[in-house]
Chain A
Amino acid sequence: MRKYLARRVVQAVLVLWAAYTLSFLLLSALPGNAIENRIHAPDSGLTPQDGQVLLHYYGLDKPVWEQYLHALGRALHGELGLSLTSVQPVTSLIGYALPSTLRLTGLALVAGIVLAGTVAILINYAPGAWLRGLAAGIPALFASVPTFVVGILVLQYLSFRAHLIPPVDDGSFRALVAPAITLGLVIAAPLAQVFSTSIRTTRKQPFVHVLHAKGAGEGYIFRKDVFRNSSLPVLTLLGLAFGELIAGSVVTEAVYARAGVGKLVVDAVTNQDLPVVQGVVVLSAVAYVVVNLVVDLAYPFIDPRILVGRNGAANSKGTWPAGRWRGPRRRGQAQPQGLPPEDVVVP
């Protein structure tokens, strides 16, 4: 377990470093000196003193690699540079915007999971074939309606006509519900699709047949066995869906006129405030890496076989693969390449 943990953490740190370096390289590869151009632009709205401060801060007279090392050193101390428009530290700009966005994405995540779970269960267990068929169409519907359309429809009906929710962010929980559900819909579609497929596959497994033979009903089997067996692929997808949430929050915050990281990015891009853009890139990378680290650490709790695979000891029969879940295996399926054939028992 400790080895697994250590490897995952080292991987996470490497990914963060790569993300930072890449974003730095991309920005410094822009034609001319982007930061300098920006500072000297007539519409920058910066005072000459501000310009001096910024030029000194970024050390633009030094070679690129020195700038990079300097920036990396600062990043390690939690500094992500100064904004080119307000001359404030990027970290504090993000700090102001983050709580609102976290509330939004957090609630959206919960909404998405609940929605996906409900739909997946409906698809598989709803009474009547027509109802199940109807439910099976929902994920495709969710996936094909863009966020902003949902957002505008919700605003139009729930806010302007029914006056159920405030049209702008007044800091209340009610104001959060509509954008969160709008954003949740985006991730609900793939999650529901994967979860329902996974439930369907699991329910065809012979061990479910054995459970029926024990006299267990569908509810019991779902709670005890099917849910856990079907949730691994969903967990994997959840890590990826988090990226969707970050991207989706930009649009959602714009539609609902909420202050947050999304709005910060939009403004920064409009004003070519590169350090802020880079800061948000790094922030997204951190969020992404942390979420996937949590997901990776959660796997062994759901499927204990994963740890066995990591430590290099194969399972006794090779019937279920060691290592990460690759979907339920059918009998007679070929051994993966590079493993000893089935008649080798590794103690």
Chain B
Amino acid sequence: MTDEGRSGTGAVLSVRDLTVGYRVQHQLRAVVHDISFEVQAGQVLALVGESGSGKTTTGHAILGLLPANGKVIGGRIRFRDQELTDLSPKGWRDLRGRAVSLIPQDPAVSLDPVRRVGGQVEDVLRLHTGLNAAGRRQRVLELFGQVGFTDVERRYRQYPYELSGGMRQRVLIAAAIAASPDLIIADEPTSGLDATVQKQVLDLIDDLRARSGTSVVLITHDLGVAADRSDLIGVMQAGRLVEVGPTRELIAAPKHPYTQRLLESVPSRLTLTREQAVQASAERDTVIEVRGLRKLYGDVAAVNGVSFEVRQGETFSIVGESGSGKSTTARILTGLTQATAGSASLLGTDITNLGRRAFRPLRRDVQIVYQNPYSSFDPRFGVFDVVEEPLRSFESSQLPWKRRAANEERVVAALESAALPADFIKRHPRELSGGQRQRVAIARALVLGPKVVVLDEPISALDVSVAAQILALLRQLQQERGLTYVFISHDLAVVRAISDRVAVMQQGSIVEQGPIEDVFNAPRHEYTVGLLNAIAGRNLLVGT
């Protein structure tokens, strides 16, 4: 690392006209086209884009970790004074982990489940330093201290399954910084983590970077995270870098139409355009009433004394992190599980002790939309069968061969109300995008004309611009049909964009509930305050 090598531009990473392709059926197809950017020492570049935009492929190319059928077709990647594009496998092994490291996407599956975490961090030291066993151990304990563990000796001996998602990500960060690299590729480092944990992890990366002067390439789909945490933003769309520039300027004055659209889709901005749809909700009928609801699994109370009511035509959101009991509450409301104590009534029927069979007539009126629509479809079913299924199970009096013709009209109507063209009945969910699949799931929920729809994280698996469309669709359907929504989410920004009232759940209890604006503008419980502070993308609001 001579001064001569660095003097050219001073850039730690310099990517020029990078083109990457995958070989599919003997044809090399480019998925990343002519990308150029530079990252200076200590800078954070956020690569932002929706799924399939090529941001992860770019990150993997920088690490030399493209899958077997991937190939750098053109351009070059320069790290310090090294040309990475013509590095030997041995050169790569020496570089990776030592000079360039990775913070991976999903902490749950990124650690070897059958090895102690201490040893997994030690890998890096074993591979790249001459430290002996005692020295390595000492260094790992130090690193564990740096990533915020207190009981470092115990952590060292633990297995991944004994750690929470946030703790696992800390272990992975410790491994990434173990050899003091010059560049860290952070590939969606917080996807799948709760909002408050997400904030802690991002704070930690920020902090470590500030102390060590490491450069970071932060790959994220979340423009909010990018706005908060980066010096530079590169926006990727369909394999091209459509816009790159200093974060402040890019947020304040996006030039490319795609960047503008992406910014408009961010949930925390949607709230600014939302008009209060439901006024005087107190005058409406109560559709759901829950009193002192408890649900025990073994000795553990998943839901511990929850009370709320939902009125006709409103959107009531239950927000909380994993383990808060929000999904269990939804399962009780939809008759998928029974409460241990307390009472719940739905559309005037007491459902507390209703078995599955007795609940069945209510299913016409209560429908569910799940987070992952695809896994809630029978894989053998086409779109028509998926949407028709509720009709089949509730109105199966007709003969099978007459049924299809009779139901087709209603299926098409449901698809159209979910803003899908009629010819989708001939397609298979496999061929559809995530947003289209979610629309199919919504069509299935609507086909029986329900009164209440429980939406369990309906947009958290979708890209922001698609999610914004689905939210708009849900809102429109609510206005047209007077639907009542129970909206389950971990994402406060989304909740704010769609809800009338919100309940914040923590460890099985509702710590705060009320009209959305009250809870957001004047939170009373400290947990709510913590959640609000953890919303990424506050910088996006400053700009407007």
Residues on A lying within 8 angstroms of B by beta carbon are 205-207, 209-217, 220, 224-225, 228-229, 302-305, 308, 315-317, 319-320, 331-332, 334, 340-347
Contact = CB atoms under 8 A, between A and B. Distances in A.
Interface string B1-31: 0000000000000000000000000000000
B65 A207 contact: no
B175 interface: yes
A308 B160 CA distance: 13
Nearest to B508: A344
B323 A216 contact: no
A16 to B, nearest CB: 32
Determine the interface band of chain B, counting residues with CB < 8 A from chain A.
35 or more
B375 A216 contact: no
A228 to B, nearest CB: 5
B330 to A, nearest CB: 9
Nearest to A304: B159
Given A304-B159, A334-B375, A342 B65 contact: no
A215 B94 contact: yes
B328 A215 contact: no
Interface stretch (B106-114, B230-238, B427-435, B462-470): B106-114
B439 interface: no
Contacts, number: 131
Interface of B: 63, 65, 92-98, 101-102, 104-106, 108-115, 123-124, 127-128, 159-165, 172, 175, 297-298, 300, 302, 322-328, 331, 372, 375
Query: Interface SS of chain A: helix, strand, loop or mixed?
Result: loop
A313 to B, nearest CB: 9
A317 B123 contact: no
Nearest to B101: A213
Contact of B297 (A207, A303, A320, A340): A340
B297 A346 contact: yes
A187 B493 CA distance: 58
A207 B112 contact: yes
Contact of B302 (A215, A304, A344): A344
A90 to B, nearest CB: 44
A317 B164 CA distance: 7
Contacts of A215: 92-98, 124, 127-128
Contacts of A302: 114
A302 to B, nearest CB: 6
B4 to A, nearest CB: 26
Given A207-B110, A319-B108, A343 B300 contact: no
Contacts of B165: 317
A331 B113 contact: no
Contact of B323 (A213, A331, A332, A343): A343
B298 A346 contact: yes
Given A205-B109, A341-B327, A345-B323, A229 B96 contact: no
Contact of A214 (B123, B162, B298): B123
B113 A303 contact: yes
A228 B115 contact: yes
Given A207-B110, A210-B172, A331-B109, A316 B104 contact: no
A305 B115 CA distance: 11
A285 to B, nearest CB: 32
Contact of B97 (A206, A214, A342): A214
Nearest to A205: B109
B63 A341 contact: no
A152 to B, nearest CB: 43
A205 B104 CA distance: 12
A246 B106 CA distance: 46
A229 B112 contact: yes
Contacts of B65: 209, 212-213
